[in-house]
Amino acid sequence: MIPPDDLDPTDESILDEIRKMLSVLDPVPDTLVERVQFALDLETADAEVLRLSEQVGLRAGVRGGEESRTITFEGDDLTIMISVSVQTQRLVRLDGWLAPPGDHVVELRTSEGPLLVRADDQGRFVMDEVIRGLAQLVVRPAVDVPGVGAILAVTPSIVL
Is 17 within a domain?
no
Question: How does pLDDT run across 36-90, given as a tens digit for each residue?
Answer: 665 655 555 566 778 888 777 655 444 444 588 999 999 998 999 999 999 998 9
Residue 124's H or E segment, with its range, is strand 124-131
pTM of the predicted structure, to 2 decimals: 0.67
Residue 149: alpha-carbon gap to chain centroid: 21
Burial group, residue 41, by CB count within 10 angstroms (0-12, 13-18, 19+): exposed
Is 77 within a domain?
yes
Residue 32, classed as helix, strand or coil, is helix
The alpha helices in 26-78, defined as continuous H runs, are: 32-40
Is 25 within a domain?
no
Instruction: Give the domain extent around 54.
Output: 33-159
Is 149 within a domain?
yes
Is 59 within a domain?
yes
Is 15 within a domain?
no
Residue 123, classed as helix, strand or coil, is coil
User: Across the chain, how many H-helices and E-strands are there?
Assistant: 2, 11
pLDDT, mean over the chain: 82
Residue 135: alpha-carbon gap to chain centroid: 4
CA-atom Rg of the chain in angstroms: 21
Question: How does pLDDT run across 121-149, given as a tens digit for each residue?
Answer: 899 999 999 999 989 999 988 776 555 56
- In the chain, the number of structural domains is 1
